Amino acid sequence: MLIACPYCGPRDVAEFTYQGDANRPRPDPASTDLDAWNDYVYQRANPAGPHREYWQHSGGCRSHLLVTRNTLTHEIAGVAFVRSAPVPATKPAPAAPRKRPASRKAKP
């Protein structure tokens, strides 16, 4: 697999560090919405097909990159600097803190 770094050009995948799924909407840091945080930390769409994901060119220019790659074929459709790419919308904090769902009260 070669990743075409917009700064360095096409480089071997060994030079890059995978940073995972780029589609996870991160809640506002002030949010106390447990479901939204659970979603962000633990839930993944895990598609078979095109996948937007973060890589860092850690063995090169160290840029953070947004890569669109097909998980069925490993074909790369696009690479961009993260700073110039749209990030998934930040979920705003809800007006009033939500009640904890009943399931969380259960004893471990």
Partner 1 sequence: MAEYSVFSLLRNGFNANRDWAPAWRKPEPKAAYDVVIVGGGGHGLATAYYLAREHGITNVAVVEKGWLGSGNIGRNTTIVRSNYLLPASIRFYEHSLKLWENLSHELNYNVMFSQRGVINLAHSPAQSDDFMRRGNALRHEGVDAEWWDRDRIARAVPGLDVSASARFPIVGGLMQRRGGTARHDAVAWGYARAADRRGVDIIENCEVTGFLRDGDRVTGVRTSRGDIAAKKVAVAVAGSTGRVMQAAGIDRMPIESHVLQAFVTESLKPTLDTVITFGGGHLYVSQSDKGSLVFGGDIDGYNSYAQRGNLPVVEDVMSEMVALFPGFARLRLLRSWGGIMDMSMDGSPIVTKGPLPGMYLNCGWCYGGFKATPASGWLFAWTIARDEPHPINAPFTLDRFARGLVIDEKGQGATPRLH
- Binding region for partner 1 (CB under 8 A): 1, 12-14, 18, 20-21, 34-35, 38-39, 41-48, 51, 53, 69, 71-74, 103-104, 106, 108
Sheet holding 17-21, edge to edge: 17-21, 50-56, 64-70, 76-81
For residue 87, the minimal CB distance to partner 1 (Å) is 18
Residue 8 in the binding site for Zn ion (CB under 5 A): yes
Rounded distance between C-alpha atoms, residue 94 and residue 108, angstroms: 28
Residue 57 in the binding site for Zn ion (CB under 5 A): yes
Backbone angles phi, psi at 80, to 5 degrees: -140, 155
Q: Which of 52, 58, 61, 93 binds Zn ion (CB under 5 A)?
A: 61
For residue 20, the minimal CB distance to partner 1 (Å) is 7
Of the CA atoms within 13 Å of residue 84, those in its CB half-sphere come to 6
Rounded distance between C-alpha atoms, residue 107 and residue 10, angstroms: 53
Q: Which of 56, 58, 60, 82 binds Zn ion (CB under 5 A)?
A: 60
Task: Give the binding site for Zn ion (CB under 5 A).
Answer: 5, 7-8, 57, 60-61
